[in-house]
Structure 1
Amino acid sequence: MKKLAIYFIVLLIVPALFLTSCDRGDDLGEDTAVATPAFTLMTDFMVQNNRDIGNILTNTDNEKFVVGPPAAADLQTFLDTYYIMDLRSSSDFATTHIEGANNVAFSDILTTAATTSKPILMVCYTGQTACYATALLRLYGYPSTRSLKWGMSGWNASTAGPWNSKIGSNLADGHSNWSHQGAPATLVFDDPTISTTLTDGEAILKQRVKALVAAGFGSVTVSGSDVLNNPSQYFINNYFSEADYLGFGHINGAYRILPLTLGDNSYLGLNPDANAKIVTYCYTGQTSAVITACLRVLGYNAYTMTFGMNGIYNTNPSWTTNQWGGDSNPKNLPVTNN
């Protein structure tokens, strides 16, 4: 009888242990479920809502991020179309500005954008700060925002000093770090890591844009001379066409990851390490400012090379477009101090 009692007790205990074990396993599975990374949440939203890098460069209405100064005959239509934000200093704005423009601090571009239903035109000295701001506004949800190409330098000869003063050094001409070799093979890296408590892709994107607006533009720039003299200190991405990459030449070791988008995973060619200073350079520093804004939102330690190719080799014989003082010069459009 004693053995029989023990047998029945075992029959009761074993199933209970089995069920307890199953319950613990289920709970453990729920507790250790891996949350979707913030980077994935944000970039999924960006791709699905036309905010991939390509859409920031050219929106769904086929409008590029920059627009050139208008012909004199089209001036009034141009002025009536846009709400103009001039990002220059208050003193320079007071001296000379475009009629109807509004002097806005960089840190206030989001709050100011919310006050108008017009397409926004960003204006600065050279177009580079304005392009960075344009990218951030497009990322935030203002896709019709554009930047005045060449900034006030392209509007009138009296305000062309900021561009004129940066041209003529031709540092790259004959420099040992200037190369005509083919681009190095593109590597494949992991996604950047984004730290946030938010779990909504749009909210994460807006949080990151706001932080970059608060930080301003000056901290994301590097000079062409520093990159040219010290290329090993940077992860360099050249944003030329393939023909110009070889024809113009390029900074030694520069990759050519172009197009650069989330949708085709080409962004994985960039190094996400926080110690890797990713520098994009283009012809004018304007496209690279847009790319840099996008990359910083994505979590890269990204920088733009100011004045681009124009700043280090303006007299390169391969120029056909975007050469300051060549095919591109200031217009004679009116300015005011009222």
Structure 2
Amino acid sequence: MKKLTLLLIGLFIVPALFFTSCDSGDDPGTSPVATPAFTLLKDYMVQNNLDVNNILVNTDGQKFVVAAPATLAEVDAFLDTYYIMDLRSQSAFDGARLDGANRVDFTNILTTAATTTKPILVVCYSGQTACYATALLRMYGYSSTRALKWGMSGWNPNTADSWNNNIGTHAKGHANWSSHIAPTNQTFADPSISTSLTNGEAILKKRVQDIVALGFGDATVSGTDVIANPGNYFINNYFSDTDYAGFGHIDGANRINPFTLADNSYLSLNSDASSLVTYCYTGQTSAVLTATLKVLGYNAKSLTFGMNGMYNDNAAWTSNKWSAAVSKDYPVISN
């Protein structure tokens, strides 16, 4: 009798288990779809104040770039505020540097940043490499990092060769310099990021490390090449609407400004482009955007020297325009 009772109980339990498993919604033989790495990265950056707008201006309201002090009397206090990271060559550093500066190879910026509790000031020749490094350092957790605007070229006229020798006018009268209205923005897919990591923070750290290892040279393209061959690039002119029309622009250039992850406006950038080029006025903002886009998985490049390198004497232009008069005459240290 006992055996019969157990048999009857078993006959009721087994079907119940079967139907319960069916009701759970699981489909035998399939696996849950993994969240794409880009989505994990995007969500982490948005949730932790690392969206594109927060790289450009941190949560304390500090822009990624800071100009030299207005007066000589302010220089000492300015320099004392920062751990100064100079990315130039050893010979340039030995020839003229900020008092208290430390020469650092670009590939060592992350390890060096970990050695100080001060806000970091990054210095280079023209401000472009420094701005690129600043964006990467901000994304890595050093949100108070800033770059010296115009680089050493803006600090002392004796170190200004980087800018004085690189302003240009080759866009003037060029067949590929246009005044047409901006193309209608399209919508593209998310970039694809290949990684075995499944945590947004870990993905971000690894992406920044990998981009730092490549250096800034991997992220630049000359204005002469872009204006000669605009069809080879997805070009984003990071100007205001007024300046896009008033200055003119490279033929076919998009105007996607601003763009952020949180509102999906970044989807107007072509994730499949073999080269996504951003250009601004000085090459400094575009360097920040390019660093951010490369971390996000875009094949991004910054147009070196920006508008200054292509059309410095544009009649519509006043602010963020390089001239020898921009440079301060502040003291430097030399060996």
Global fold match (TM > 0.5): yes
Q: Distance in 2 between matches of 1:185 and 1:32?
A: 40
Counterpart of 2:291 in structure 1 is: 293
User: Residue 94 of structure 1 aligns to a residue in which SS?
Assistant: helix
- Total equivalences in the alignment: 323
Q: List runs of 5+ in structure 2 lacking aligned partners.
A: 1-10
Cα distance change of structure 1 residues 329 and 30 upon mapping to structure 2, 3 Å threshold: farther
Alignment-derived partner of residue 337 in structure 1: 334
Cα deviation 1:121-166 (Å, max 9, x = unaligned) = 0000000000000000001111100000000000101000011001
TM-score normalised over the length of structure 2: 0.92
Deviation at 1:260, TM superposition (A): 1.2
Report the residue type matching 2:203 in the other structure. I
Residue in structure 2 matched with residue 114 of structure 1 by the alignment: 114
| Cα distance in 1 for residues equivalent to 2:136 and 2:316 | 32
Distance 2:28 2:278 in 1: 44
How many angstroms apart in 1 are the aligned matches of 2:29 and 2:203?
A: 25
Q: How does 1:286-325 map to 2 (within 5 A)?
A: 286-325=284-323
Runs (4 or more) in structure 1 with deviation over 3 Å come to 15-18, 20-31
Amino acid paired to 2:224: S
Cα 1:18–1:140 shift into 2, 3 Å: closer
Distance 1:281 1:310, change over 3 A: same
In structure 2, give the amino acid aligned to 1:322: N
Shift in Å, 1:22: 5.0
How far apart, CA to CA, are the structure 2 residues paired with 1:102 and 1:187? 45
Instruction: Look up the match of 2:157.
Output: 157
Give, in whole Å, the separation in 2 of the partners of 1:264 and 1:30: 37
Alpha-carbon spacing, 1:103–1:34, altered in 2? closer, same or farther (3 Å) = same
- 1:89 aligns to 2:89 (yes or no): yes
**2-side partners of 1:258 and 1:264: how far apart?**
13
In structure 1, how many angstroms separate the alpha carbons of the residues matched to 2:56 and 2:29?
42
**Counterpart residue type for residue 86 of structure 2:** D
Identity of aligned residues (%): 62
| Aligned equivalents of 1:100, 1:203: Cα separation in 2 | 33
The Cα RMSD (Å) is 2.0
1:68 offset after TM fit, Å?
Answer: 0.5
Structure 2 distance, partners of 1:27, 1:53, is: 39
> What is the CA–CA distance in structure 2 between the aligned matches of 1:44 and 1:67, rounded to whole Å?
29
Query: 1:231 deviation in Å?
Result: 0.3
SS at match of 2:307: helix
Q: Tell me the CA shift for residue 32 of structure 1.
A: 2.2
**Aligned to 2:27, what secondary structure does the other structure show?**
helix
How much does 1:270 deviate?
A: 0.8
Instruction: Give the secondary structure class of the aligned counterpart of 2:40.
Output: helix
- 2-structure distance, mates of 1:150, 1:215: 23
Task: Provide the rounded CA distance (Å) in 1 between the counterparts of 2:84 and 2:31.
Answer: 51
Question: Aligned with 2:73: secondary structure?
Answer: helix
Q: What runs of 5+ residues in structure 1 fail to find an aligned partner?
A: 1-11
Distance 1:189 1:266 in 2: 10
Q: 2:288 is paired with a residue of what secondary structure?
A: helix
SS at structure 2 position matched to 1:115: coil
